[in-house]
Copies of this chain bind each other. A is one copy, B any other.
Amino acid sequence: MTYCVGLLLNEGMVLLSDTRTNAGLDNISTYRKMFIFEDPGERVITILTAGSLSVTQTTIARLREAIEEPDADGETSILKAPTLLKVAEIVGNMLAAVGQEISDKMNAMKQSASAAMIVAGQRKGGAMRLFLIYPEGNFIEATEDTPFLQIGEHKYGKPILDRVVRPDTSLADAQKAVLLSMDSTLRSNLSVGMPLDLVVIERDACQVTSRRRIEAGDEQFRAMSEAWSKALRDGFVQIAL
């Protein structure tokens, strides 16, 4: 499995993904699940992926190919699409087509494959937008009422987001929130694992502001995780029944 989360805030967007993939419990690997497409200052798109690796890799590869086509246009290239809504449509259509293609092959084994994606981006002159693309290609968009979207193993890490994340949350607090949300997920579910990829995109920058890979031994992450455990235990002790 996977855990990916994206936040759409007044100050910008914060995106976090894990890197664990598994085909059964005895076949575990590390794969990047965060992909950045950038025309710095003009357009930035970040895609997070969850689901069948064969589907997500093929979808991302085809999206790249479409960008590099000599006759690429706004109908096929996510870097040329006129709006972010059109980007979501291109990604959704590609995801659904690849999922269907691979499922057709697996049909003989009575199996199927699918994946979901989070698409976050902004083009110069447009608004920041954050989409969750379903395996069937349709999508929903984050709004002020619910400024975050999650894919994969989303339940363990949802309570902290529900309590802390608002559109006016600062980018620093937002990074803390997604990392603590991931920390809860890592502790409770083996199929989500380090390292992590964390990206911040400031509003109107139209490029990635900061990008960090957090490795398994990361001191800062461990200190934060321990401080959070301590805060939870201290808070727990103080509460009257």
Contacts and interface: CB of A to CB of B under 8 A. Distances in A.
Per DSSP, chain A at the interface is helix
A224 interface: yes
B240 A180 contact: no
A180 B232 CA distance: 11
Interface residues of A, number: 36
A231 B241 contact: no
A239 B233 contact: no
Contact of A231 (B159, B164, B220, B238): B238
B156 A158 contact: yes
Interface in A117-173: 153, 155-156, 158-160, 162-164, 172-173
B160 A187 contact: no
B188 A162 contact: yes
Interface in A75-89: none
24 contacts: A153-B155, A155-B155, A155-B188, A155-B189, A156-B156, A156-B158, A156-B159, A159-B184, A159-B187, A162-B187, A162-B188, A175-B241, A176-B239, A177-B236, A224-B240, A224-B241, A227-B239, A227-B240, A228-B239, A231-B232, A231-B236, A231-B239, A232-B235, A235-B235
Interface of A: 153, 155-156, 158-160, 162-164, 172-173, 175-177, 179-180, 184, 187-189, 220, 223-224, 227-229, 231-236, 238-241
